[in-house]
Amino acid sequence: MTPLESIILVGIVFLIVLLSGHPLAFTLGGMAVLAGATVWGNPGALNLFIRSTIGVGTNIVYTSIPLFIFMGAMLERSGAADDLFDSMYIIFGPLRGGIAITTVVICTLLAAASGIIGASITLMTILALPAMAKCRYDMKLATGTIMAAGCLGTLIPPSIILVIYGAQAQLSIGKLFAGGIGAGLLLSVLYLVYIVWKIVVKPESAPAIDPTEALKYSQAHKWLMFFKSVLPTSILILLVLGTILLGAATPTEAAALGCVGATGVAIYNRKFTWRVVRECSYMTMKTTAMIMFIILGATMFTSVFMGLGGGEVINSMVSGLQINPWVVVFLIFFILYVMGMFIDCYGILLIGIPIFTPIVNALGFDPLWFGVMFAVMIQMSYLSPPFAYAAFYVKGVAQQQKITIPISELYWATIPFMVMQAIAVVLLCLFPQIILWIPSLLF
Q: What is the pLDDT of residue 92?
A: 77
Q: What is the pLDDT of residue 182?
A: 93
Question: What are the residue ranges in the chain where pLDDT is below 70?
Answer: 1, 42-44, 213-215, 217, 311, 314-322
Among candidate residues 422, 246, 228, 409, the one with its CA nearest the CA of residue 333: 422
Spatial distance between the Cα atoms of 18 and 28, rounded to a whole number of angstroms: 9
Spatial distance between the Cα atoms of 204 and 206, rounded to a whole number of angstroms: 6
Among candidate residues 147, 128, 146, the one with its CA nearest the CA of residue 383: 147
Spatial distance between the Cα atoms of 103 and 97, rounded to a whole number of angstroms: 10
Would the pTM of this model clear 0.95, i.e. be above it? no
Query: What is the DSSP annotation of 286-326?
Result: HHHHHHHHHHHHHHHHHHHHHHTTHHHHHHHHHHT--S-HH
Q: What is the pLDDT of residue 21?
A: 72
Among candidate residues 158, 167, 319, 361, the one with its CA nearest the CA of residue 241: 158
Q: What is the pLDDT of residue 246?
A: 81
Q: What is the pLDDT of residue 318?
A: 64
Q: What is the pLDDT of residue 320?
A: 62
Among candidate residues 38, 29, 44, 39, the one with its CA nearest the CA of residue 302: 29
DSSP code for 61: G
Among candidate residues 152, 154, 212, the one with its CA nearest the CA of residue 187: 152
Spatial distance between the Cα atoms of 70 and 430, rounded to a whole number of angstroms: 37
Per-residue burial over 10-29, b = 16 or more CB atoms within 10 Å of its CB, e = otherwise: beeebeebbeeeeebbebbb
